Amino acid sequence: MIYLDSAATTKPCKQAADAILNTMEESFGNASSLHKMGIRSEKVIASAKRTLLSKLGEGDILFTSGATESNNTALRSAAEIYRRTGNRIVTTAIEHPSVANVISKLEEQGFEIIRLAPKDHPDLAQALADAMDEKTLLVSCMAVNNETGFTTDVKRLYRLVKKKNPKTIVHIDAVQGFLKVPLDGDLVSISGHKIHACKGIGALYIKKGIRVAPLLFGGGQQKNLRSGTEPVELIAGLEAAVKAYHGTTEHFTALRSRLLSGLSELSGITVNSGDDCVPNIVNFSVDGVRSEIMLHSLEEREIYVSSGSACSRGKTSGVLAAFGIPDKLADSAIRVSMCADTTNEDIDALVSGIRAGIERFRR
Ligand code: PMP
């Protein structure tokens, strides 16, 4: 099996699986319990927080069910708490639905939304800052796009925004960027299952001095910001995965070069991911073979990739269009996303699979 769909989800690493099982067996107490078992669980959570903060900066960590919840908490909180700053929200046209759909809801509630597309703004970070006015309460931008790997320098974005208006809140969806690119933000969302932990756990980093409001009300866990008994096992798994993460830019860059060189020997290939993209995600289109056809043709060889344009129930997201990629190319786009364990042999097998798919299906 050759798994090249790590942007969709990653295989949980052994360290995460061991930590989850070990916590289930040894530290299964409720972190709110006053006895030793509760305290043991509390310690597991505190340690995971320290590990995450060592990667994200000074502040606090809210454990969530995943980045969808982190993004909802961040955006809805900012709109609720910082409304006094103003009515404008500046974002991009390439956000994941867990950001885009929350922002559309806020638009219905009367917020003014500015959405910028990379095709119109070669320097997206600068354009986002330029689109702010003194009444901008929030800037939300993903660090790495899940469909193409396109990267925005969010450290620079943070500096530009704060220079223009220190009161504007910066939210970063860092699901595809965490542990891969430098990050900064007032609120930063991450997801466990994209970094070899498991599904059902994520986090929201909250910079020192920034406030958030709860989505869930109940027993008051996590400083009353997210009620519900903390999933200590999943939190332990998340910490273990962060500690064990060993993907490197060098490894991904070498694999990307190998893939591009292999693809360059085939006809009718258009690479949609440019040099401004992380090397672990490569989106390309195969002229004359629709995405799904190629995906299933590769599947027959036990090679797993994604169709390059995230669609739900056959409706494309429009994200590739915001990069200036025409519909015809979007229809035949394939997304390959690698992990630390991806090998040269995996890439060679993929290129052979694409060649065979072209010979069989090109119209
Ligand atoms: N943001 C981005 C950029 C993503 O790629 C994803 C997952 N596809 C999410 C948010 C949602 O993450 P989760 O699955 O943890 O809810």
Domain with CATH 3.90.1150.10 in the chain: 247-361
Q: Which of 13, 141, 277, 311 is catalytic?
A: 311
Domain with CATH 3.40.640.10 in the chain: 14-244
Q: Which atom of ligand 1 is nearest to the CA of 191?
A: 15
Model pLDDT for residues 81-132, shown as the tens digit of each residue: 999 999 999 999 999 999 999 999 999 999 999 999 999 999 999 999 999 9
Q: Is the pTM of this model over 0.85?
A: yes
Q: Best substitution site from 64, 70, 98 to test ligand 1's pocket, by max atoms within 8 Å of Cβ?
A: 98
Model pLDDT for residues 212-221, shown as the tens digit of each residue: 999 999 999 9
Residue 257 CB partners (closer than 8 Å, separation 6+): none
Distance CA 107, CA 324 (A): 25
**The pLDDT of residue 336 is above 70:** yes
Whether domain 247-361 has CATH 3.90.1150.10: the reply is yes
Distance 32 CA to ligand 1 centre (A): 29
Considering only CA atoms, which residue is closest to atom 7 of ligand 1? 8
CB distance 156 to 129 below 8 Å: no
Distance 267 CA to ligand 1 centre (A): 33
Q: Which residue has the tokens 């910028």?
A: 116
Distance CA 72, CA 178 (A): 18
Helix (H, G, I), strand (E, B) or coil at 181: coil
Which residues have CB under 6 Å of ligand 1? Answer: 66-68, 96, 98, 142, 146, 173, 175-176, 191, 202
Distance CA 343, CA 222 (A): 41
Distance 175 CA to ligand 1 centre (A): 6
Q: Which atom of ligand 1 is nearest to the CA of 71?
A: 10
Q: Residue 72 CA to chain centroid, in angstroms?
A: 14
Distance 142 CA to ligand 1 centre (A): 10
CB distance 215 to 73 below 8 Å: yes
Considering only CA atoms, which residue is closest to atom 6 of ligand 1? 175
Q: What is the pLDDT of residue 315?
A: 62
Q: What is the pLDDT of residue 316?
A: 65
Model pLDDT for residues 55-73, shown as the tens digit of each residue: 999 999 999 999 999 999 9
* CATH architecture classification, 14-244: 3-Layer(aba) Sandwich (3.40)
Distance 99 CA to ligand 1 centre (A): 9
**The pLDDT of residue 263 is above 80:** yes
Q: What is the pLDDT of residue 309?
A: 72
Considering only CA atoms, which residue is closest to atom 9 of ligand 1? 67
Extract the tokens encoding 93. Answer: 């046209």
Mark whether 141 is an active-site residue.
no
